[in-house]
Chains A and B, each alone.
Chain A
Amino acid sequence: MMHLLSFALCLAAFAALALAMERQQHDLFGRPLEPALTRALRMTGTSALLLALGVLVNWQGWGLGLVMLSGHTSLAAGVVFCTIIRIMNGGGRRGAPPRTAQSRPLPTSSRSSP
């Protein structure tokens, strides 16, 4: 049960953190979200991760708690990642020509040059 709770928290955390990212906002919504909303998502994600850590450490102590958190975060990040890919591919198939989501110009240039 504690495992389920902390995994759900990690999942929610990474979903929020992913939605707070510029590239994912472009891919999923076609535009960047409000800066305030982005900040809120980032805060939510970070807090949920810390909460998951708290749940596990409170339950099993630091040694096992950290090990379990590491497992849950790795898996949750993977699940969120695969879900985003699925949403983007599914969206492409239903509506617009395939792979519009991916072929849309990505806001990379502003990032890769510091």
Chain B
Amino acid sequence: MEKDQRSPGRGIRQSMSGLHIWAGLLMGWILYAMFLTGTVSYFKDELSQWMRPELAHQAELPDPALVAQRIADELVASVPGSPQWSMRLPDARTNSVYAFWRTAPGSAEGGRRAFGEANFDPATGGKVTARDTLGGDFFYRFHFQFHYMPALWGRWIAGAAAMFMLVAIVSGVITHKKIFVDFFTFRGGKGQRSWLDAHNALSVFGLPFHFMITYTGLVTLMALYMPWGEQLAIKTQAERQQMTAELNAFIQPGKPSGQAVPLAPVAEMVRQAQERWGRENVGRVTATNPGDSTARVAVARGESGRVSMSPQYMLFEGTTGRLLEVREGVGSAAETRGVLYALHLGRFSDGVTRWLYFLVSLMGTAMVGTGLVMWTVKRRQKLADPERPHIGFRIVERLNIASIAGLSVAMTAYLWGNRLLPAGLAERAAWEIHLFFAVWALTLAHAVLRPAKAAWIEQLWAAAALLALLPVLNAVTTDRPLWHSLGQGDWVFIGTDLMCWALAALHAVLAIRTARHRPKLRAAPAKGRTGIIGGALEEGRS
């Protein structure tokens, strides 16, 4: 950035550069964690399948209409009097049916507003008996609300971080300026310059995605961050219901009549939806006051193939199965939100698009990571005594190690915990998460206690080893080793195993590059000194 001092407009570009550096640094560690866990969340359904190995591989998608009937029967029997229940029908990416329900008022299960939830087996309709785990949903929830704090606090922190990200993106573009001239530029072996080129490439190639994902991330929680418009305009209960109907397909229960009438066949309703939207494009079945004469059933359209989360559903009279209404559009403001929301989650994706989302998001993660490391690379050259850097430098350096290399170790440890913690452990799902944070804290302690370069290398190797051995652990502790998955054509397990090895290789390459790095041989301009991390990873990407 200093290289460009000759050019005019230096005032604004230098102030933007300052803004970029500090906005990026202050929230950088949080942003890195949000980016990486968010990236992984594009495969959260697959990860959840992998983390519940007891649930058999689903070779063929069962007919959603039959599954809906099966689960509906089960829910009618197991939660009688529930004012509302809702199930997500299985698709190619899920092998269980997630359902939740409001508990009946005055029932033993809890108070008026209490909810219950469970995963059901699509083949039998019974509750699944898999190990207790949050699965991929842990990374997904951590990505926007963190943990060990009220969800609302977490979401506010995530929102602040996203605002910082947006500032960093805009100021970064202004600072960079030569986006097109330097589009493919990489000057290797030049320390800070190489880091800057790598950071620029990662940022510019994925710029549409990075900007979109940050902005739409804020939109997903806009009702929390900016509630005032809604508070002013929406006053009555009826208005509130009308707004809810614009935002999602959960129909709200009216007042039950108290007259018991059994629910008409749900399978027939789902079939009508299948005719309209396609056999495997039915997303969710929601029933209100089932078993009452006022029952309603909404069958919602699936998410694939349409870039919008706006609700589309068919509404049926619950007692007769008569179609009451087809809802296929919302107002333009609601639709704008629906589209932005959908862009963030990418649930409409086919397999290839999902991988594109994952890879470009990984580039975003690397963008934040290279940015963080660059802060130390740039300052290391200016240190009065490189052997004894000042406290600010040391804090950044150590936090970088734990938040970049350490997070890889901790996330993999979470998966190890999933295989190793005893099935009967009380609060097992919570312990998997405690393990994640315990390991992450240990990597921070390790980063503080060890010399910086050694800490980087050891943690990168630890991550590589844990990742490389995870398929082995899976083979030993479950009956679904790689050769078995290959025979079954079980791409969730094959993919997870192969991905572990690919990521292990990536971490190993980074570790080797870091270990091999000899600043003096690189002949970086005069002040190279012991640029330990400084160029340590500089060629790791190439």
Contacts and interface: CB of A to CB of B under 8 A. Distances in A.
Interface centre among B183, B339, B359, B363 (most CB of A within 10 A): B183
Interface string A7-18: 000000000011
Interface string A41-71: 0000000000000000000100110011011
B33 to A, nearest CB: 22
A63 to B, nearest CB: 4
A67 B353 contact: yes
Contacts, number: 93
A80 to B, nearest CB: 7
Interface residues of A, number: 34
B281 to A, nearest CB: 14
Interface in A62-110: 63-64, 67-68, 70-75, 77-78, 80-82, 84-86, 88-89, 99, 102, 106
Contacts of B189: 99, 102
Contact of B188 (A75, A102, A114): A102
B360 A3 contact: no
Interface string B188-200: 1110000000000
B513 to A, nearest CB: 13
Contacts of B229: none
A86 B307 contact: no
A111 B178 contact: yes
Interface in B199-237: 201, 204-206, 208-209, 212
Contacts of B3: 112
Interface string B175-190: 0001001011111111
Contacts of A114: 7-8
Given A67-B353, A113-B6, A85 B348 contact: no
A30 B4 CA distance: 25
Given A99-B189, A113-B7, A24 B356 contact: no
A112 B188 contact: no
Contact of B208 (A18, A74, A78, A106): A74
A61 B305 CA distance: 10
A18 B184 CA distance: 7
A33 interface: no
A63 B306 contact: yes
Contacts of A24: 184
Nearest to A82: B542
Contact of A21 (B183, B206, B363, B541): B183
Contacts of B363: 74, 78
Contacts of A81: 184, 186, 201, 205
Contact of A74 (B7, B186, B305, B360): B360
A85 B542 contact: yes
Contacts of A67: 307, 343, 346, 353
A70 B208 CA distance: 7
A106 B343 CA distance: 40
Nearest to B208: A70
A103 to B, nearest CB: 8
A74 B542 contact: no
Contact of B205 (A3, A74, A84, A112): A74
A9 B205 CA distance: 16
Contacts of A78: 201, 205, 363
23 contacts: A3-B352, A23-B185, A63-B308, A64-B305, A68-B356, A70-B208, A71-B209, A71-B357, A73-B205, A74-B209, A74-B360, A75-B205, A75-B359, A77-B205, A81-B184, A81-B186, A81-B205, A85-B188, A99-B189, A102-B188, A112-B6, A113-B6, A114-B8
Given A18-B183, A71-B209, 17 more contacts: A18-B184, A63-B306, A63-B339, A68-B353, A68-B356, A70-B209, A71-B353, A73-B205, A74-B356, A75-B205, A78-B205, A78-B363, A80-B184, A81-B184, A82-B541, A84-B184, A111-B181
